[in-house]
Structure 1
């Protein structure tokens, strides 16, 4: 089990106008907070993890597998494995994402062990 505090060094750049921090994780599941400035982007990408996204604050335009939708606070979605997705932040906000299994690439980028 890992629990991160909200210290400034826990955050790292994850894209243009976006930062992330790992909240908690084990091999099978990971929760990550993302904060975006207005105009911030989650650039198009895919990964072998199933992802859930919950909009805590702000307004986001998500494109998932070529379909674009606007999500507001309280909205949530599931992004299937290996599907190309991206987002643009329309109003400054925070997303909470969960990944299964854990994103070891995030662990390594944050300098955390994966074993």
Structure 2
């Protein structure tokens, strides 16, 4: 078994990002939101993304549709969809990307 260790880095104000595992086909990343109101700014990318809410509460927007999620919730963001979130209660999102997000390495 091959295990790599990746550093935790600043993503946006109040948000820390850490790659948990990766291969060319798949990547898992933790986003740790440290304060209420921290914002994952609207963006899009060609990767399919699956998000699992490990803890906390968040308001997400995907292509203009808003919804709230909390611990234990999960959803998929299609390739190319414009999305972002606002932290309602500090917590952690676990995102998987297919293929890998090389810009996170």
Give the TM bin, normalised by the shorter chain.
Answer: over 0.9
Alignment RMSD: 1.1
Report runs of 4+ in structure 1 exceeding 6 Å deviation: none
Distance of 1:62 and 1:50 partners within structure 2: 16
More helix by share: 1
Spell out, residue by residue over 1:45-80, the C-alpha distance to the aligned partner (whole angstroms, 9 max, x if none): 000000000000000000001000000000001000
Residue equivalent to 1:24: 21
Distance of 2:10 and 2:39 partners within structure 1: 11
Work out the number of aligned pairs and report it: 103
Within-5 A mapping of 1:33-112 = 33-37=30-34, 38-107=36-105
Task: For CA contacts below 8 A with separation 6 or more, give which structure has more relative contact order.
Answer: 2
